[in-house]
Structure 1
Amino acid sequence: MIYTLTLNPAIDRELTVTEVQYDSVLSAVKSQVDFGGKGFNVSRLLKSMGMPSTALGFIGGRTGDRLRSGLQALDIATDFVVISGETRTNISIVTEKHDHYIKVNEKGPLVEESSQRELLDKIASIAGPGDWWVLAGSLPPGVPDSFYAQIIAILNEHKAVTILDTTGESLRLGCEAKPFLIKPNAEETHKLTGLPVETTAQIVLAAKELLKMGAQNVVISMGKKGALLQTADESWLVHSPKIQEKNPIGAGDSMVGGLVWALSQGYSLKESLGWGAASGAATASMSGTEVGSRALIEELFQQVTYEAL
């Protein structure tokens, strides 16, 4: 079974206008609502691949109800902890030509310690050997930086397998709990290690430093260049297929989705990252917030190349 965890989800509302003008009333020519959260994006990609998953996290209020209903309408199972606050709403205003935008993200509701404990207990009750867990995204107010590390410790105890995709101090502490795999980008890797990441050789050294911090395996996403896989024994550069990029937002989450799908099917880490690269490229080639289809992902997977370092 695959589980995805999104601790600070949101309803993302995008309004399209002809042009951005300050101190005036703007009329939207188009509006779109999406269910925001890195873990949710992973679940959507898994759904596209025909793989069920269960989405967990914190939700609250009418916004939270709308989010849960929306995911269930997409045939994604949910098992949320309901909190007293209101799930956040993020607003984007973009121009029709996509040359300007304004994005305002709410911090999210305060999550009380009792709700945090409820989620930890829930995870402990459902985690089982061989399950795959994707822990992704930022932490909401009230949740300590050590929370992902606490979850990883529980999952390790139950012999489940963890992929961690977060940033900053929560990533550093999460590494200490020894997750199976982490997926920072190059910039996040630089911030965490303090090492330069201008060249591939430098990124390899930085990835090895992340292994020393506790992660069992490291994938560093490098945008159009592809991604680096660093294990205890091997370094691989996975080159993404060439596409006509339309919207890169969510491509990194699709990479994680393709990666965990392939791992759950028994592919090697190298091949699984190839599926991840194909999944990310497929989503980046789609308009709006669509994720890549299985047919497109399978086609692009044939174009992925691997370079041993």
Structure 2
Amino acid sequence: MIVTLTPNPSVDRTIAFDRIRRGAVQRATSSRIDPGGKGINVSRALQANRTPTLAVLPAGGPEGHLLTELLESAHVPYRAVEIAGAARMNIAAVEPDGTTTKLNEPGPQMSAAEVSALFDAAITAADGADWLVACGSLPPGVPESFYAELVLRCAAADLKVAIDTSGSPFPLAAVAHPQLIKPNHEELAELVGRPLPRIGDVVDAARGLVADSIETVVVSLGADGALGVDASGLVWAGATVDDPLSTVGAGDCLLAGFLHARVLGGDLEAAVREGVRWGAAAVRLPGSQVPAPADIAAVEVTSTNSPELDRVIS
């Protein structure tokens, strides 16, 4: 069982346009609505591929009601903590080449009591689980130390934690030593405090974090694939996507695929390859739609333990 925690979930509306022209009337070619937030996307991808999961989230207001309805429609098991504020609504504008412009609301103000209830719900739900995956931004009212405190609490309870976030909560969580972190290229550079223009720079940064007691670092690099680093070594994997539709949620699907493989006993290389396969399959789908087994099976992945360290990341 993989439990996900999404402190700042959303209702995601993805609208497709032939072209985005700033300041002009935009006429959409299509639109779709999905339950959103990084942890929820992880649970949706896992559920679509028959990996047991449970999504923990706060939900309030009419948007929160719609969010839980969308989860039920997607057959995603969830545990919602009721809050007074309304869940946020996010918009992604997608162009034909896959270019995505995202407009994200900040999320509802949460009280100290609501934050405590969400924290306790996640810990309780994760009892006996293979992983607790805590993802995404923190809404107003949630302290920046939330993820760090979660990691420490889980360590005391012998629970494995994966963290996928950004901004100021990320370094605080990393210092608490979760078993897994999954930054993208920009987030890793921000975490280590220096530019990482080449593959070799990313490898060095990830190895430094592993040496500092984070068991596994998985870095999503967009069109340049993904890197996984742990004490056993490193793996790069990539896939060519000639027909991208949307990058929304692709990194979340990569994390879902990685953990899916890990739960089944896969080693680092098998897990990175599976993660890239899931992420690439997601890019071929509209909006934040998650890939099914047939979508994933259609993706060809290459991998190596000796990537081109001098390769510049696009």
Q: Using structure 1 for the length normalisation, give the TM-score.
A: 0.89
1:73 counterpart residue number: 73
Deviation at 1:217, TM superposition (A): 1.4
Q: 2:134–2:164: 8 Å Cα contact kept in structure 1?
A: yes
Q: 2:192–2:205: 8 Å Cα contact kept in structure 1?
A: yes
Distance 1:17 1:224 in 2: 22
The one of 239, 242, 266 aligned to 1:241: 239
Q: Does 1:300 align with 2:295?
A: no
Distance 2:197 2:180 in 1: 23
2:177 counterpart residue number: 178
Q: Does 1:169 align with 2:168?
A: yes
Code of the aligned partner of 1:305: S
1:134-213 aligned within 5 A:
134-213=133-212
Question: Does the C-alpha gap of structure 1 residues 194 and 11 become closer, same or farther in structure 2, counting only changes over 3 Å?
Answer: same
Distance 2:284 2:98 in 1: 19
1:1-309 aligned within 5 A:
1-16=1-16, 30-92=30-92, 103-234=102-233, 236-246=234-244, 247-300=246-299, 303-308=301-306
Q: 1:241–1:278: 8 Å Cα contact kept in structure 2?
A: yes
Question: Does the C-alpha gap of structure 1 residues 199 and 54 become closer, same or farther in structure 2, counting only changes over 3 Å?
Answer: same
Distance 2:167 2:62 in 1: 31
Root mean square deviation of aligned Cα: 2.5
SS of 1:282's equivalent? helix
Question: Does the C-alpha gap of structure 1 residues 107 and 262 become closer, same or farther in structure 2, counting only changes over 3 Å?
Answer: same
Q: Using structure 2 for the length normalisation, give the TM-score.
A: 0.88
Deviates more, 1:1-10 or 1:209-218: 209-218
SS of 1:239's equivalent? strand
- Give % identity: 34
C-alpha deviations, 1:227-272, integer Å up to 9, x for none? 11121341x2322122324122221111001011111111112211
Aligned residues: 306
Q: 1:46–1:53: 8 Å Cα contact kept in structure 2?
A: yes
Deviation at 1:153, TM superposition (A): 1.6
Deviation at 1:172, TM superposition (A): 0.6
Code of the aligned partner of 1:79: R
**Structure 2, unaligned stretches of length 5 or more?**
308-314
Code of the aligned partner of 2:256: G
Question: Does the C-alpha gap of structure 1 residues 254 and 29 become closer, same or farther in structure 2, counting only changes over 3 Å?
Answer: closer
Distance 2:116 2:98 in 1: 44
**Structure 1, unaligned stretches of length 5 or more?**
none
C-alpha deviations, 1:273-298, integer Å up to 9, x for none? 11101111111122333222213324
Deviation at 1:131, TM superposition (A): 2.3
Distance 1:224 1:17 in 2: 22
Q: 2:86–2:108: 8 Å Cα contact kept in structure 1?
A: yes
Distance 1:136 1:101 in 2: 20
Deviation at 1:26, TM superposition (A): 6.0
SS of 2:287's equivalent? coil
Higher relative contact order (CA 8 A, sep 6+): 2
Distance 2:288 2:24 in 1: 29
